[in-house]
Amino acid sequence: MSSNSEGGYRHCQSLVKGLDLLSALNRLPSGSGSISELGRQTGIHRTTLKRLLETLREEGFLSHDAATNHYRLTFRVQQLSYGFRDTVSLVEAAWPDMREVSREVVWPCSLVVPEGEEMVVRASTRLYSRLSFHPGMPGRHMPMLSTAAGRAYFAHVCDDERSVLLDMLRSRDDEQAALARDSKQVLALVRQTRAQGYGVNIGEWGVEPKFGAVAVPLRAHTGVLGSMNLTFLLRAVKGQDALLKLVAPLKAAAARIEEALAAKG
């Protein structure tokens, strides 16, 4: 380690080399390479390189093929980018339709994206809704498995990403971990949400027992970006027919947003 970093903290060269190694693998075809290839790419000494590779393998970020002696990136490396979401273009594309949906059904509409194993609100029409009960909503974190927004996202991501999310949820020490460990319940949730085409919660989120929500996923060519929801008072929206009256304009808005995103490339 060197001691020339800002703030008086020692520079961790091992961490830098590990990140360089992941970046090098990311540049190779299929995210896979031999020790010799990676040595040429990074300039890291073979002994150090082997130690870093085995450490990353043990932590689940790499896999090793004994037949070819190649190391390959695993899906878990995507966890490293879960906290970073460039949502500016998504908000810009979604905002006009969010306002329109909220004007049509009166209830507030929010754009919600994943952050780790949670969901976070990036934009909301709550300030413009006469039936809003939660000012200052953007930035609020929401659980993945207990909210309509989280369920809509979770059920529609690819199987590999959902598996990583489940691993992260199961490592927690809370209600979300208990839900994630119930494989039958998780499978039923995914199947039901996919069959409906939308996520729903009817007071299951413990901190909001008087409220429900419906949500639809927002997709792009890269996968599911997040979800868009409508939140309502349970005593004001009762029965399946009432729910579907909220879902219909939400789905129509999602289709327009996805079309706008596709047009932008």
pLDDT tens figures, 191-210: 999 999 999 999 999 888 99
Q: What is the pLDDT of residues 237-249, one digit of tens each?
A: 999 999 999 999 9
Instruction: Examine the pLDDT at 182 and tell me if it is beyond 90.
Output: yes
State the architecture of 81-264 in CATH terms. Answer: 2-Layer Sandwich (3.30)
**Domain boundary assignment for the chain:** 6-73, 81-264
DSSP codes of every residue in 49-110: HHHHHHHHHHTTSEEEETTTTEEEE-GGGGGGGTT----HHHHHHHHHHHHHHHHHH-S-EE
**Digit-coded pLDDT (tens) for 159-177:** 999 999 999 999 999 999 9
Which CATH number applies to 6-73: 1.10.10.10, 3.30.43.10, 1.10.10.60, 3.20.20.100?
1.10.10.10
d(CA 49, CA 108): 52
Residue 14 pLDDT level (bands cut at 50, 70, 90):
confident
How confident is the model at residue 23, as a pLDDT?
87
Average pLDDT over residues 251-261: 95
Q: How far apart are CA 260 and CA 246, in angstroms?
A: 22
pLDDT at 139: 81
For the residues 174-192, what does the mean pLDDT come to? 96
Q: What is the pLDDT of residues 128-165, one digit of tens each?
A: 877 777 654 678 899 999 999 999 999 999 999 999 99
- What is the amino acid identity at position 254? A
- pTM (two decimals): 0.69
Q: What is the pLDDT of residue 106?
A: 93
